[in-house]
Amino acid sequence: MSLPTRRTFLKRASLFIPAALAAQSVPNGAGASRPDFAPATPKELAVDLVIIGGGMGGIAAALAASRAGLRVILTEETDWIGGQLTSQAVPPDEHAQIETFGGTKSYQAFRRGVRDYYARHFPLTDVARANPLLNPGNGSVSKLCHEPRVALAVLTEMLAPHVASGRLQIFPHHTAVSAATTGDRVDAVLVRSAESGRECVLRAPLFIDATETGELLPLTRTEYVTGSESQRVTGEPHAVPEARPQNMQAFTCCFAMDYVAGEDHTIDRPRDYALWRDHVPPLTPAWSGKLLSHYYSAPRGLKPFAMGFDAAKSTGLFKYRRIVDRTNFVPGTYVGDTTLVNWPQNDYMLGNLFEVPAPEAARHLAAGKQLSLSLLYWLQTEAPRADGGTGWKGLRLRPDIVGTEDGLAKYPYIRESRRIQAEFTITELHVGLDARRKTPATPDAEVTAEAFPDSVGIGSYAIDLHPSSGGDNYIDFLTRPFQIPLGALLPRRMENLLPACKNIGTTHLTNGCYRLHPVEWNIGESVGALAVFCRAKKTSPRSIRATPALLAEFQSALTAQGIPLAWPKK
């Protein structure tokens, strides 16, 4: 098929997305005033694979495809690849077995790379240097709490050979603004640079949506769902009676702070501080009280709970996502410990960043930033201390760690995305501990998740839903170690568009256990490998799942490159 003219491309694109949504660049560009299209005729590039979104899934997909020789273009909305690990600044949330099993070979290489980077570039103590399981921050949430810029460096190193060879091109500060399709296929995606406004038409036999919010789905008219489905549709015990498409998990504007004893680093009083200081989240069941408090609703059981907070002793919430433990480093390297603030107290629950008009998304993003700054100011000035005093003036915002002027992460931590209507949808009935019990008396150890014959990877995490924009408090319950079915990665209709992030065929509930760092990486890597296999076999992703011999061959290829497909039987 000949390349369409710019006029034809724009005519096609205009059919697929309302102008208000097309102009929306969520979240950092939300509400920005830009022309629908730059005046210059866009250049066109054709490669083997186009990946829109440079988060963990996008990186893993690019790595898998590039190392197999495919020509790949990867776009990223910010200037930092890595998504949750970097631009969102969230240390990895992982299952307890991750040090020995439960991640792909390349994900484990990333984890080793983080430790190796610290060993090569940081003045570690002798004890820390001798520790093969070094946890740089010794945070309680992860076995590998580290600074986002270290993750950025390691990911850049992993991709460097493919960038140098020209197989992989990375376009930072680029977002997709429209798409052209023919029938059930994507022909091209138009991307725009936030720096120059220049546009480029990207063409490939296969496209991957690795954006944080599933941005390619509305652009390509791919069928998708958002929010919470009804119990009538999913059959899940924890599902709601009626579907609520706007009911999505809170997002969080994360930030890093350290503590410098004896100094005053109090920020200016945030504009909306009075609002947030007295805010009580409107949730059901009820929240524990004011949001800015040491107390919050315990995720499991919802009783008021306080982890505690002591900046001087680096305990409680300060230790929770601590990314620098200065005792791991030669004295004088750091003046204080550093923590990453992604806590219940700065979860923004009052609205969403997508599936709403751009001005509304911009308001919610600005309000989410005000909440995070208000939390910091409250900690500095009013937070009660165990000694009877109030505030920790030595808490210091660290914009250098997150790479921004305002000190907040480049991109909000988004827990929930648009999700494809997939060939197969994973529900609580497939992975939930209680839902999988044969009898009420069945021991936990004997309960397993559904075995998927089309598995392309594994993961393990509780179903962990943060409070939602629809007024739900935490929904948190146990699952069993699970598999990633290929059917959940295939849209029901579109033939050459694949998800590689939180946009796979899960429900509102099961998104809560498939959204974590190693699972997203595994999804992306398997999708990248699928692109390679499709090209080699000259077939479609759907055909691979539908053809037992091809599926078995593809699964063997995944296993050969270090992607486990099942958990060991006990």
pLDDT of residue 53 exceeding 50: yes
CA distance 346 to 78: 22
397: number of Cβ within 10 Å: 21
Mean pLDDT calculated for residue range 402-422? 98
Q: What is the pLDDT of residue 284?
A: 96
Assigned domain for 515 exists? no
Q: Which domain range does residue 278 map to?
A: 251-402
Taking alpha carbons only, the member of 518, 535, 491 closest to residue 214 is 491
Distance CA 95, CA 480 (A): 11
pLDDT for 160 beyond 80: yes
> HSE of 269 in the Cβ direction (CA atoms, 13 Å)?
8
Q: Give the pLDDT score at 408.
A: 98
Whole-number pLDDT of residue 107: 98
Strand pairing partners for 306?
295
- pLDDT for 26 beyond 60: no
- Contact (Cβ atoms closer than 8 angstroms) between residue 553 and residue 512: no
Q: Which two tokens stand for residue 520?
A: 């997203």
Does pLDDT of 313 surpass 50?
yes
Residue 18: inside a domain, yes or no?
no
What is the average per-residue pLDDT within 312-322? Answer: 97
Residue 381 in domain:
yes
Residue 196 has pLDDT above 70, yes or no: yes
Which of 39-48, 67-76, 396-405, 535-544 is predicted least confidently? 39-48
pLDDT on residue 39: 53
User: Where residue 541 falls among pLDDT bands split at 50, 70, 90?
Assistant: very high
Residue 432 pLDDT greater than 80, yes or no? yes
Is 300 part of any domain?
yes
- H or E element in which residue 49 lies: strand 49-52
Which pLDDT score is estimated for 553?
Answer: 98
Burial of 557 (0-12, 13-18, 19+ CB in 10 A): middle
Give the total number of structural domains in the chain: 1
Say whether pLDDT at 28 is over 90. no
Contact between residue 136 and residue 34 where contact means Cβ atoms under 8 Å apart: no
Q: How confident is the model at residue 570 (pLDDT cuts 50, 70, 90)?
A: confident
**What contacts 365, CB < 8 A, 6 or more positions away?**
26, 27, 28, 30, 253, 353, 412
As a whole number, mean pLDDT of residues 549-553 equals 98
Q: Would you place residue 41 in the very low, low, confident or very high pLDDT band (cuts 50, 70, 90)?
A: confident
Per-residue confidence at 17, pLDDT binned at 50, 70, 90? very low
Q: Work out the mean pLDDT of the chain and round it to a whole number.
A: 93
**Largest interatomic CA distance in the chain:** 74
Note whether residue 352 is domain-resident.
yes
Q: Is a pLDDT exceeding 70 seen at residue 27?
A: no
Contacts of 510 (CB under 8 A, 6+ apart): 426, 427, 428, 430, 431, 463
- Closest to 314 (Cα-Cα) out of 371, 253, 395, 399: 395
- What number of other Cβ atoms are within 10 A of residue 493's Cβ? 15
Q: Is residue 358 part of a domain?
A: yes
**For the segment 440-457, what is each residue's pLDDT rounded down to a tens digit?**
999 999 999 999 999 999
User: 12 pLDDT exceeds 80?
Assistant: no
pTM of the entire predicted model: 0.93
> Is 202 within the bounds of a domain?
no
- The structure tokens listed for 79 are 């200037």
Give me the pLDDT at residue 40, please.
Answer: 66
Q: What is the pLDDT of residue 68?
A: 98
| pLDDT exceeds cutoff 70 at 5 | no
Who contacts 183 (Cβ-Cβ below 8 Å, separation ≥6)? none
Which tokens is 560 given? 């050969």
CA dist., res. 478 & res. 465, Å (int): 12
Q: Could you tell me which residue, 15 or 196, shows the higher pLDDT? A: 196
Note the pLDDT of residue 473: 98
Q: Is 490 exposed, middle or buried (0-12, 13-18, 19+ CB in 10 A)?
A: buried
- The residues facing 228 across adjacent strands are 244
Residue range 134-149: mean pLDDT, rounded: 97
pLDDT, mean of residues 316-336: 97
Residue 264 lies in a domain: yes
| C-alpha triplet 248, 249, 252: angle, nearest 5° | 130
